[in-house]
Amino acid sequence: MSQKRFFCHSHMMKIPPSYSRQSGGFLLPLILVVVLLAAIYAVVVWKWSYSDGERVGVVQKFSRKGWICKTWEGELNMVVLPGALPEKFFFTVWDETVAADINRNVGKRVSLHYTEKVGLPTSCFGDTRYYIHKVKLTTE
């Protein structure tokens, strides 16, 4: 085995053979560990919900958006009192059957059941933190 030499404070020193190996042997396992941890984080955040509940109002805007990852994005107009300023609730839908239900009821008063996801890593999951899972037509 050849030994490499280097200068340290104007003294020539020999490097032991164990240090003369390339340091790339730990790079691949490190990358795999980082990718594995990122995947575990994404799965945990996707499965765990911060909150869930219902919002009632009129869906006034609903469209499929996204460059690569297409999601349904909507806007629910929640009117509390006549003459009061409306509050808007922005939401995302992943399920095509739920999206079809919302499309049938645009302009009608509906109740949307949602779960809130916090910490999703990219906007590919949707533009909002609120994911709709169920739609009910209300008669009020």
Burial 36-56 (b: 16+ CB within 10 A, else e): eeeeeeeeebeeeeeeeeebe
Shared domain check, 56 and 34:
no
Residue 6 has a pLDDT of 52
Segments forming the whole domain that contains residue 123: 50-137
Q: What is the pLDDT along the chain (140 residues), one digit of tens a residue?
A: 555 555 555 555 555 555 545 555 788 888 999 999 988 887 887 777 788 899 999 999 999 988 888 899 999 998 767 777 878 999 999 899 999 999 999 988 999 999 998 877 667 778 888 999 999 998 76
Shared domain check, 65 and 123:
yes
Residue 20 has a pLDDT of 46
Shared domain check, 65 and 114:
yes
Shared domain check, 63 and 103:
yes
In the chain, the number of structural domains is: 2
Shared domain check, 132 and 70:
yes
Shared domain check, 86 and 20:
no
Q: Let me know how long the chain is.
A: 140
Shared domain check, 28 and 58:
no
Shared domain check, 55 and 40:
no
Cross-strand bridge partners of residue 72: 64, 93
